[in-house]
Structure 1
Amino acid sequence: MKKYCKLFLVFFVLACQQKASDLTELFSFPKSLKEVSGIVTIQNSELIGCLEDSGNKSKVYFLDLTGEIQHSIKVKGLENKDWEDIAKDPQGNLYIGDFGNNDNIRQDLAIYKLDKTALTKSEIHPSAIIEFAYPEQKDFPPKKKNRHFDVEGYVVFQNNFYLFTKNRSSNFDGTAFIYKVPNVSGKHQAKKIGEFKTGPDYQNYAITSVALSPDQKKLAILTHSKIILLENFKGDDFLSGKRTEIDLHHFSQKEAICFKDNFSLYIADEKVKNTGGKLYEFKIQTPTQN
């Protein structure tokens, strides 16, 4: 009996000594923004652009670093079917990823381009619509064990989009696919260019957002409790480089990530009852001093 008591005491002490989160809380989102699903920096990281997912307004909001909404854009002619992420290219154009597909039933997946020159307006039409489909998906929906066609995170790289799938299969094993779609208006077949495993359980390893650093040398994959950092990859073979798993020691419904600069990230979680609905900063390393 004493042996079991000692074991219990050890586990209890280890649990109590769990490392505090390295996340720095910056602000709470306004009450009107409860389901932020994508964030991006603009104007040299002085503003945070964000959007919400399915059922919310077809708008992009721009917040200052205190959390106040400074401006918003209504994207005309579009329904927010399931806006899951927002990205930008090196020129500063924004892209809305309308590809949320929880039940793997959608056949209207699309990405919408917002020109940099129009971001000060209150209403705009998308300047380009990129539609795509997954050639591997034959059924809508597939069997529950084969539901690999939801996406909540993507990046723009070398004039292509790279989408990282969120595993919705009943036998979750962390498998995620990487699809490539050209940044060109029209209808496209997404090309599967990679496959990897995030980790063993859905709660901690389902992908909720992806971001590319400004120097395009780091790619951060977000889950509810972790960051999977890919570095030193060759071209668009993101899996060819170094992989580091970072435990945030903080579990919440984290849905959005973007780089503030090459060495730090912004992370947002959704409001769930009395928790979340905040923007955090996370430093992944200290710049090397020359």
Structure 2
Amino acid sequence: MKSKLLFLILAVYNFESAQVPGCTDPVSSNYNPAATVNNGSCIYPSATVSPVTSVNLPEAVKETSGLIKWNGKLYTHNDGADTKLYALDSISGAVVQSVTIPGVVNKDWEELAQDNSHLYIGDFGNNGNGNRNNLKIIKVSKESVLAGAATTETINFTYSNQTNFTATGGNNTDFDCEAMIVSADSIYLFTKQWVSKKT
């Protein structure tokens, strides 16, 4: 029994000592080719990026929030009371189509995502007081958008670990969803956790 325990301790020690912490990214200025475990110490030189082109967006999308590319156009929505989906020319930025999403309220639309057959509008912004209990994703048929008369379904959700809905004031909650990704049969939500400083 003692020999098995000693063997286990030595095996764990050898495994731990074989790991070399450091920066494993060859693009960084402090790359360590001997490092086997990235310890987050990578340092990168400053960089300046200038856009090749830019356009001023029309007043109709002054509060643009979510953005996707689909059907040769850019699609966006506003973060406010507006319940329209806007198609923009990808070169000029001009609005080439707008479709009202019927039967919904824009409480705090934050994100737009897509799969092969649907668009997903995330009405889940929660930075005002952190106590929303009406979080939802609006699922819109792409076919209906192309026809100019959007049809929708609503996906309501809650955070299983949010039990206190007392108003916390602006930007003072861990339940402020700002982004999402749709992949196969799943929707992944990303929150700005203002209190714990995580996502």
Task: Indicate the percent of aligned positions where both proteins have the same amino acid.
Answer: 32
1:156 aligns with 2:179: no
Q: For residues 49 and 114 of structure 2, what CA distance do their matches in structure 1 show?
A: 28
Match of 2:59 in 1: 31
Does structure 1 conserve the Cα–Cα contact (< 8 Å) formed by 2:64 and 2:76?
A: yes
Q: What is the one-letter code of the residue matched to 1:38?
A: G
Match of 2:13 in 1: none
Match of 1:256 in 2: none
Cα deviation digits, residues 187-207 of structure 1 (max 9, x gap): xxxxxxxxxxxxxxxxxxxxx
Cα deviation digits, residues 123-148 of structure 1 (max 9, x gap): 3231x211000010011137679711
Cα deviation digits, residues 103-129 of structure 1 (max 9, x gap): 211111111111121112333231x21
Match of 1:61 in 2: 86
Does structure 1 conserve the Cα–Cα contact (< 8 Å) formed by 2:131 and 2:168?
A: no
Match of 1:141 in 2: 166
Q: What is the one-letter code of the residue matched to 1:36?
A: T
What stretches of structure 2 of length at least 5 have no aligned partner?
1-44
Match of 2:130 in 1: 104
1:175 aligns with 2:173: no
What stretches of structure 1 of length at least 5 have no aligned partner?
1-16, 177-290
Q: What is the one-letter code of the residue matched to 2:48?
A: A
Match of 1:41 in 2: 69
Question: Aligned pair in 2 of structure 1 residues 118, 143: CA closer, same or farther (>3 Å)?
Answer: closer
Does structure 2 conserve the Cα–Cα contact (< 8 Å) formed by 1:40 and 1:86?
A: yes
Q: For residues 175 and 168 of structure 2, what CA distance do their matches in structure 1 show?
A: 12
Question: Aligned pair in 2 of structure 1 residues 141, 20: CA closer, same or farther (>3 Å)?
Answer: same
Match of 1:86 in 2: 112
Cα deviation digits, residues 219-264 of structure 1 (max 9, x gap): xxxxxxxxxxxxxxxxxxxxxxxxxxxxxxxxxxxxxxxxxxxxxx
How far residue 74 of structure 1 moved from its aligned partner, in angstroms, is 0.2
Using the size of structure 1 for normalisation, the TM-score is 0.49
Specify which structure has the bigger relative contact order, considering alpha-carbon pairs within 8 angstroms and separated by 6 or more residues: 1
Q: What is the one-letter code of the residue matched to 1:155?
A: I
> What is the SS of the residue equivalent to 2:157?
strand
Q: For residues 23 and 161 of structure 1, what CA distance do their matches in structure 2 show?
A: 31
Counterparts of 1:1-290 in structure 2 under 5 Å? 19-43=47-71, 46-55=72-81, 57-65=82-90, 66-89=92-115, 91-102=116-127, 103-126=129-152, 128-141=153-166, 147-169=173-195, 174-176=197-199
Q: What is the one-letter code of the residue matched to 1:141?
A: T
Between structure 1 and structure 2, the one with the greater Rg is: 2
Does structure 2 conserve the Cα–Cα contact (< 8 Å) formed by 1:60 and 1:72?
A: yes
Q: What is the one-letter code of the residue matched to 1:140?
A: F
Q: For residues 88 and 172 of structure 2, what CA distance do their matches in structure 1 show?
A: 39
Match of 1:247 in 2: none
77-86 vs 145-154, greater mean Cα deviation: 145-154
Q: What is the one-letter code of the residue matched to 1:99?
A: F
Q: What is the one-letter code of the residue matched to 1:164?
A: F
RMSD: 2.2
